[in-house]
Amino acid sequence: MEKLKLITKFAEKFISDKDIEGMSGRAVDALKILHSGSGAGKDFLGWLTLPTDYDKEEFERIKKAADYIKNNCDILIVIGIGGSYLGARAVIEALKSQNYNALAKDTPQIYFIGNSISPSMITQLLSICEGKDICVNVISKSGTTTEPAIAFRIFRELVYKKYSREEAAKRIFCTTDKSKGTLKALADEMGYESFVVPDNVGGRYSVLTAVGLLPIAAAGNDIDALMRGARMAQNELNGEDIKENDCLKYAAVRNCLYEAGKKLECFICYEPNMTMFNEWLKQLFAESEGKDGKGLYPVSCVFSTDLHSVGQFIQESGSNLMFETCVKFDKPADDFVIAAQDGNIDGLNFLSGMKMSLINEKARQGTLLAHTEGGVANIILEADAIDEETIGYLIYFFEKSCAVSGYILGVNPFNQPGVESYKKNMFALLGKPGYENEKEKLEKELGI
Ligand code: PA5
The confidence band for 2, taking pLDDT boundaries of 50, 70 and 90, is confident
The residue to mutate among 141, 150, 201, having the most atoms of ligand 1 within 8 angstroms of its beta carbon, is: 141
Return the pLDDT at 65.
98
What pLDDT was estimated at residue 9?
Answer: 95
Tens-digit pLDDT profile for residues 193-202: 999 999 999 9
CA distances from 52 to 10, 55, 122, 204, 274 (A): 35, 9, 38, 19, 26
Side chain identity at residue 33, one-letter code: I
Q: Which amino acid is at 83?
A: G
Secondary structure (3-state) at 277: helix
User: Global pTM?
Assistant: 0.97
Rounded mean pLDDT, 396-408: 98
Stated as kind and residue range, the H or E segment containing 248 is helix 246-259
Q: What is the mean pLDDT of residues 157-162?
A: 98
Active site residue 432: no
Q: What percent of the chain has pLDDT over 90?
A: 96
CA 396 – CA 87 distance, rounded (Å): 12
Q: Are 389 and 225 in contact (CB under 8 A)?
A: yes
Per DSSP, helices labelled H in 7-163 are 9-12, 17-36, 56-72, 86-95, 119-128, 146-162
| Distance between CA atoms of residues 276 and 252, nearest Å | 25
Q: Ligand 1: does its nearest atom lie under 6 Å from the Cβ of 286?
A: no
Q: What is the pLDDT of residues 162-214, one digit of tens each?
A: 999 999 999 999 999 999 999 999 999 999 999 999 999 999 999 999 999 99
Q: Is 41 in the pocket of ligand 1 (CB under 6 A)?
A: no
Residue 97: pLDDT over 70: yes
C-alpha 350, offset from chain centre: 39
DSSP reduced 3-state for 311: helix
pLDDT exceeds cutoff 70 at 1: no
Round to whole Å and give the CA distance between 274 and 259. 28
For the CA of 419, the nearest atom of ligand 1: 9
Q: Does residue 87's CB lie within 6 angstroms of at least one atom of ligand 1?
A: no
Total Cβ atoms within 10 A of residue 29: 14
Tens digits of residue pLDDT in 329-377: 999 999 999 999 999 999 999 999 999 999 999 999 999 999 999 999 9
Question: For the purposes of burial, counting CB atoms within 10 Å of the CB of 13, is it exposed (0-12), middle (13-18) or buried (19 or more)?
Answer: exposed
Interval between CA 245 and ligand 1 midpoint (Å): 30
Active site (annotated) includes residue 287: yes
In the annotation, is 58 catalytic? no
* Ligand 1 binding pocket includes 146 (Cβ within 6 Å): no
Residue bearing the CA closest to ligand 1, atom 15: 140
Q: Ligand 1 centroid to 74 CA: how many Å?
A: 27
Q: Is 203 in the pocket of ligand 1 (CB under 6 A)?
A: yes
* Helix, strand or coil, per DSSP, at residue 188: helix
- Under 8 Å between Cβ of 51 and 231: yes
pLDDT band at 437 (very low <50, low <70, confident <90, very high): confident
Position 7: which residue type? Answer: I
Quote the ligand 1 centre to 142 CA distance (angstroms): 7
Q: How far is CA 394 from CA 230, 270, 329, 379, 440, in A?
A: 7, 16, 12, 15, 48
Burial class (CB in 10 A: 0-12, 13-18, 19+), 126: middle
Q: What is the mean pLDDT of residues 252-268?
A: 97
